[in-house]
Amino acid sequence: MADDISTLRRVLHQHRRVAIVGLSAEWHRPSFFVAKYLLQHGYQVFPVNPRYAGSEILGQPCVASLDDLREPVDMVDVFRRTEDVLPIARQAVAIGARCLWQQIGVVNHEAAQLVEQAGLDSVMDRCVKIEHARLFGGLNWAGVNTGVISAKRPVVS
């Protein structure tokens, strides 16, 4: 499992085409922040969510499942419940992905073992955005930077 800094750095540097399974179109959801961050840092993002299939999220066409992708991806970033990960891991292997990344709070050891045996990198219980910011100097983006909430007092006239 990719857990050390050098491996995480390599994974984030080499795997720049990211399918985000469970990506939400709602601006306040963590998956949306991750996708927006990755797009702004030069990654290609492929939304995967049956709820939004046929529409776009952040200007990217959304598909229902990994099997529906028309282009190869390097990483499959999973924003789903732990119990939903194993079939996604199987699809990641089948489509030729090179990494399965399970987001914070998502820990499926069986899925990790499956992808590792197939030669894929595996990351569990970590956030792509936070790790990229920590390892590549984007900490200003590590939090929720919407501009809606501010520590500055409003100017009263």
Q: What is the pLDDT of residues 35-93, one digit of tens each?
A: 999 999 999 999 999 999 999 999 999 999 999 999 999 999 999 999 999 999 999 99
Q: Tell the CATH superfamily of the 5-141 domain.
A: NAD(P)-binding Rossmann-like Domain (3.40.50.720)
Question: How does pLDDT run across 19-30, given as a tens digit for each residue?
Answer: 999 999 999 999
HSE-CB for 86 with a 13 A CA cutoff:
5
**The token pair that represents 104 in the structure block:** 């914070």
Read off the DSSP letter of residue 123.
E
Looking at residue 154, what is its pLDDT?
56
Angle between helices 128-136 and 5-14 (to 10 degrees): 100
Q: Rounded to 5, what percent of the chain is helix, strand, coil?
A: 40, 15, 45
pLDDT at 157 over 60: no
Looking at residue 139, what is its pLDDT?
60
With pLDDT > 90 as the criterion, what percentage of the chain qualifies? 81
CA 66 to CA 33: how far, in whole Å? 21
Q: Supply the pTM of this predicted model.
A: 0.86
Please tell me which residue, 97 or 136, carries the higher pLDDT value: 97
Ramachandran assignment for 100, one of left (phi > 0), alpha (psi -120 to 50 degrees), beta (any other)? beta
Looking at residue 141, what is its pLDDT?
45
Looking at residue 146, what is its pLDDT?
47
pLDDT at 116 over 60: yes
Looking at residue 137, what is its pLDDT?
78
**The token pair that represents 119 in the structure block:** 């030669």
CA 85 to CA 108: how far, in whole Å? 7
pLDDT at 134 over 90: no
Q: Which residues contact 68 (CB under 8 A, 6 or more apart)?
A: 48, 53
